[in-house]
Structure 1
Amino acid sequence: MAYPIAYQLYSSRNFPPLFDQFPKLKAMGYDGIEPWLPAYEKNPSEFRRALDDAGLKCFGFHMPLAGLVNEPQRYIEIAQTLGATYLIPPYVAAEERRPTAQYWRELGEKLATGAEAAAKHGLAVAWHNHDFEFVPLDDGTRPIDHIFEAGGEGVKFEIDCGWIVRAGADPAAELKRFADRIVAIQTKDTAPLGTKDDDGWRATGDGIIDWAALVPLFRQTKADHIVTEHDNPSDWSQFASRSIAHIKALGL
């Protein structure tokens, strides 16, 4: 099975105008765009038209956790406008985090409440990880496990393999652990730790992650699409084209 492949638009935030990139991404072979806030916020209908004009889809979009908690209906309506299935909170700022199991369990419960509201409309909520969720707390437990245990089966997972490596964890182990929860896979790649250029990120296949070894594990998850992302590329087009070429060469 060939997975649909989306491009995380955050990768291009420093290279406007963003809509001009859509036809180029389609020509590279991308099937969709995964937008981040605020790219779609001002006018979701206009964003949808730009996608439609380029022949691209939106499988899911990144959104603030606070939006899911305080304005769930607003973001459900945005999902419906964009044609997206997944509402994806991706982050909590460092100043908001607390080093306790209770804090992370409460976060999971917030996701579960949002997921319940989304499910009534045929939508789903998926958490997107960074590195901090895989760093053990003082008691040896991990935030990521508390999030999903408290969130229950209704909270899905967009797994970011690059951030897992940055955290010192093993993406193969996490793909296995959360296989039944993973609905999207970000093939973010990283250079050896300590690399400074492009903040140490790389196009998929140009870094240190052994993607060929992970492909069989991808297929054991419930992922229905793949997403490329680079947090700070010096050349968005080169990143986008090299990444999708490597993914397709892997038979994904």
Structure 2
Amino acid sequence: MTYRKAYQLYSSRNFPPLADQLPILKDMGYDAIEPWLPAYEENPALFRRRLDDAGLGCYGFHMPLSGLVNEPDRFIEIAQTLGATYLIPPYVTAEEREPTVAYWRGLGEKLARGAEAAARHGLQVAWHNHDFEFVPLEDGSRPIDHIFDAGGSDVKFEIDCGWIVRAGADPAVELEKFADRIVVIQTKDTAPLGTKEDDGWTATGDGIIDWTALVPLFRKTRADHIVTEHDNPSDWQAFARRSIEHLKVLGL
């Protein structure tokens, strides 16, 4: 299986204008972009036209958890405008987080309610991880497990392999554990821990993750596309090009 390939537009937020990046990404071989708020918020219809003009799709987009909770209809409408299937809350701030089972189960329940609303329109909700979901709570349990247990099977997963490694966990283990829930895979790579350049992130294939070993596990998931991302590249085009070239070498 050859996956559709998307580029997380957050990666090049520091190199505006974003619209000028779209045809460049298309020429590199990307099929779609995965935008983050506020890239699409001001005028989703205009954003869609720019994607169409560049020949790019949008399979999913990042959005605030509060939007899913408080404004589900607005973000469902945005998804329909962009042609996206996946509504993806990616983060809760350190100030919001509580080190309790109840907090993380409550987050899962919020995602479940959003997923129920999205499903009525043929859409899905997926959680995107960082590192903190894999750090054990005082009782030894993990936030990621509480999120999905409370969320139920309708809450899907965009797995970010780089952040899992940063948390000291093993992406191979998590890919297997959540295979039936994973609908999007982010192939974020990390340089050796402690690296300062580019905040320690790197292009897919240039870091410490053994992607060759992970590819067979990708194919056991329900993912229908993969996404490249880098949180702070000094050269976004070099990152984007190197990443997609490595994905093609991997047969993805």
TM-score band, normalised by shorter chain = over 0.9
Moved over 3 A (4+): none
TM-score scaled to structure 1, two decimals?
Answer: 1.00
Query: Structure 2: which amino acid aligns with 1:189?
Result: D
Aligned-partner Cα distance in 1 for 2:190–2:233 = 12
**Aligned position for 2:159:** 159
- Following TM superposition, by how much is the alpha carbon of 1:174 offset from its aligned partner in structure 2, in angstroms? 0.1
Give structure 2 stretches of 5+ with no counterpart: none
**CA offsets, 1:178-209, max 9 Å, x none?**
00000000000000110000000000000000
- Aligned mates of 1:228, 1:92 — CA distance in 2: 21
- The answer for the alignment partner of 1:42 in structure 2 is 42
Please state whether the residue corresponding to 1:147 is helix, strand or coil. helix
Look up the equivalent residue of 1:77 and give its one-letter code: E
d(CA) in 2 for partners of 1:128, 1:138? 23
- What is the correspondence of 1:4-43 to structure 2 with a 5 Å cutoff? 4-43=4-43
Q: 1:196-207, aligned counterparts within 5 Å?
A: 196-207=196-207
TM-score (norm 2): 1.00
Deviations 1:32-72 (A, max 9, x none): 00000000000000000000000000000000000000000
Q: Which residue of 1 aligns with 2:180?
A: 180
Paired AA for residue 17 in structure 1: P
Corresponding position: 1:88 with 2:94 = no
Query: 2: CA distance between counterparts of 1:208 and 1:46?
Result: 39
Q: Secondary structure at the match of 2:251?
A: coil
Quick one: which amino acid aligns to residue 212 of structure 1? T
The DSSP-based 3-state class of the residue aligned with 1:137 is coil
Across the two proteins, how many residue pairs are aligned to each other?
252
1:128-169 residue CA offsets vs partner (Å, 9 max, x unmatched): 000000000000000000000000000000000000000000
Aligned partners of 1:44 and 1:62: how far apart in 2? 13
Aligned to 1:102: 102
Aligned to 1:145: 145
Percent identity between matched residues is 82
